[in-house]
Amino acid sequence: MSIASPFFPHGKHFVAGARIATEAQFRSSPAAGPAHSFSTGTPARVDEACRAAEEAFSSFGYSAREERAVFLETIADEIEARAEAITGIGTQETGLPTPRLVSERGRTVMQLRLFAAHIRLGDYLDRRRDAALPERQPLPRPDLRLMQRPVGPVAVFGASNFPLAFSVAGGDTASALAAGCPVVVKGHSAHPGTSEIVAEAVLAATTRRGLHPGVFSLIQGGRRDVGEALVQHPLIRAVGFTGSLAGGRALFDLCAARPDPIPFFGELGSVNPMFLLPAAVAARGEAIGQGWAASLTMSAGQLCTNPGIAVVMSGPEGEAFAEAARAALSRVPPQVMLTDGIAAAYRAGRDRVASGAGVQALFTSTCDLRHATPYLFRATGKDWLGKHALAEEVFGPLGLIVTVESIGEMLDLARSLAGQLTASIHMDDADTELACALLPILERKAGRVLANGFPTGVEVCDAMVHGGPYPASTNFGATSVGTLSIRRWLRAVCYQNLPERVLPKDLL
Annotation says 304 is catalytic: yes
Catalytic option among 48, 73, 93, 267: 267
489 strand-pairing partners: none
Complete DSSP assignment for 387-456: -GGGGS--SSSEEEEEEESSHHHHHHHHHH---EEEEEEE--GGGHHHHHHHHHHHHHHEEEEEESS-TT
Q: Are strands 371-372 and 335-336 parallel, antiparallel or unpaired?
A: antiparallel
What does the alpha-carbon distance between residue 117 and residue 175 come to, in Å, rounded to a whole number? 12
What does the alpha-carbon distance between residue 385 and residue 61 come to, in Å, rounded to a whole number? 49
Annotation says 267 is catalytic: yes
What does the alpha-carbon distance between residue 263 and residue 475 come to, in Å, rounded to a whole number? 8
Catalytic option among 50, 181, 255, 304: 304
Nearest Cα neighbor of 455 from 308, 322, 342, 326 is 308
Helical pair 43-60 and 224-232, crossing angle rounded to 10 deg: 30
130 strand-pairing partners: 144
Nearest Cα neighbor of 401 from 329, 319, 297, 328 is 319
Inter-residue contact 473 to 419 (CB < 8 Å)? yes
Q: CB under 8 Å to 114, separation ≥6 — which residues?
A: 460, 461, 483
Inter-residue contact 394 to 353 (CB < 8 Å)? yes
Per-residue 3-state assignment (H helix, E strand, C coil) for 150-199: ECCCEEEECCCCCCCCCCCCCHHHHHHHHHCCCEEEECCCCCHHHHHHHH
What does the alpha-carbon distance between residue 332 and residue 374 come to, in Å, rounded to a whole number? 7
Inter-residue contact 240 to 467 (CB < 8 Å)? no
Inter-residue contact 67 to 209 (CB < 8 Å)? yes
Active-site positions read 267, 304
